[in-house]
Amino acid sequence: MAHLWIDNPPTGWEELQLDGDQQVQLNHNPPLLTKSDRTGGRLTPTIRTAATSTASESIWVLLAGQADGVWVNDAPLVLGIRRLVDRDEIRVPGAGTIFFSTESLAQVKAHEGSPVTCPRCRTVIESGSPSVRCPSCGVSHHQSEEFPCWTYAHSCVLCPQATNLEVDDRFCPEDL
Ligand SMILES: [Zn+2]
Ligand SMILES: [Zn+2]
C-alpha cells in the first residue's frame, strides 16, 4: 500500500494513506492521482471502482494538465501522466512538496477472504485468524501467541521485508 507525505508547514510532514481505490485531489481540480491496476502489463490510467484482489499489484499514476505546473523529481510533467515509483518527489503549485512512497507497515489483522497457506509453518491461515500480510510481497503469515510465524525470523519468508512490528523505520522526508 502506498502513501503520500505532504508538507504541511504548521504541523510538519503528514502521511496520507492511499488505501483502496480512490482519487486524491491535493488542492487541485481536476484530481491529480488515480489508482489503476496492472492487467497483462498494460498501464490503464482509469479510475478503478472494483475491489483490489490481494494478488494484484497496484500502480499509482499521476495525472495533470500541462497548465497545472506539476514537477516530478526536478522535471516538469510534460506529458501529463507519469507512473509513480517509491520516493518520487512531486511539486504542485499551491500544495507544496509531496513525496510518494510505497512502503507500508506490517500490521496484525484478521485474515480476510479464503484460507491460504502460511509460508512459515505451512499450515492453513483460516479466515479471521490473526495474521500479517507482508507489505512488500503481499503474502500472509500467521501472527498470534500460538503461531508467531511473521515475527519468528528477522525477515519475511519470501522476501527481505523486516518483520519488526513495533519500530516504524520507513522512509520519511524528515530523514533526507
Ligand atoms: Zn504459520
Ligand atoms: Zn514478504
Give the model confidence (pLDDT) of 81-126 as tens digits.
Answer: 777 777 788 887 766 778 887 766 788 999 998 999 999 999 999 9
Check whether 34 has a pLDDT greater than 80: no
Q: Which residues, 6 or more positions from 145, have their beta carbon under 8 angstroms from its beta carbon?
A: none
Distance 149 CA to ligand 1 centre (A): 5
Proximal ligand: closest to the CA of 149? 1
Please state the domain extents for the chain: 2-101, 105-167
pLDDT at 36: 52
Q: Cα 55 to chain center, whole Å? A: 14
- Say how many C-beta atoms besides its own lie within 10 A of residue 42's C-beta: 8
Q: How confident is the model at residue 130 (pLDDT cuts 50, 70, 90)?
A: very high
pLDDT at 126: 96
Distance 106 CA to ligand 2 centre (A): 10
**Class of CATH domain 2-101:** mainly beta
pLDDT at 23: 57
